Structure 1
Amino acid sequence: MADKTEKKKKGFFAGVKGAFARFAKYFRDTKSEVKKVVWPSKKQIINNTCIVLVVVVIAAIVIFLLDSVFGLVLDLLLKTAG
């Protein structure tokens, strides 16, 4: 028979210690990645917010107009059919 190498099992506390080490590494890595982020300036934030608001208003107007037109067309179809 071939020799089987058995893995040595860790104890409970060794597993817990390893888990805490992984959590600590995760937070260290996260902190280092956040330091690399290039944050937008206040002017860029205001500009982007204005653009988003304008696009939302335009989309709302388009949806309102389409809803009104389709509602009128449906109303006319139902009146002529009935």
Structure 2
Amino acid sequence: MANNQENTSEKKKSEKKSEKKADKKQPNKIAKWFKDLRIEFKKVVWPSKKTVINNTSVVLAVVAGAAILVGLLDTGFLALMRLIYQ
């Protein structure tokens, strides 16, 4: 029985040690993640200002064209519905 109690107390001690190790490892993982993130951001090839402006203007033109197209279709269907239901 004494041997069983010793094994139990040793298990508790080893569990406490492993918990302490886990607590200590957590901040290191977070710090490593931020360090890796910084390294990856340095690897990114960022577009030039001219490219960003060009791409933005293309997107705005496509959105405006789609809005005009949807507006025209809506107006056309509205006129068609008025003719049908009069």
Common fold, TM-score beyond 0.5? yes
Instruction: List gaps (5 residues or longer) in structure 2.
Output: 1-10
Mapping for residues 1-80 of structure 1, pairs under 5 Å: 9=15, 10-11=18-19, 13-79=20-86
More helix by share: 2
- Give the Cα–Cα distance (whole angstroms) in 1 for the partners of residues 23 and 58 of structure 2: 49
* Structure number, greater radius of gyration: 2
Structure 1: 4+ residue segments shifted above 6 A:
none
Letter of the aligned partner of 2:70 in structure 1? I
The normalised TM-score by structure 1 is 0.78
Instruction: List gaps (5 residues or longer) in structure 1.
Output: 1-5
Identity of aligned residues (%): 43
* Aligned-pair Cα RMSD in Å: 1.6
| Alignment coverage as a number of residue pairs | 72
The normalised TM-score by structure 2 is 0.75
- Give the Cα–Cα distance (whole angstroms) in 1 for the partners of residues 64 and 55 of structure 2: 14
Q: Secondary structure at the residue paired with 1:61?
A: helix
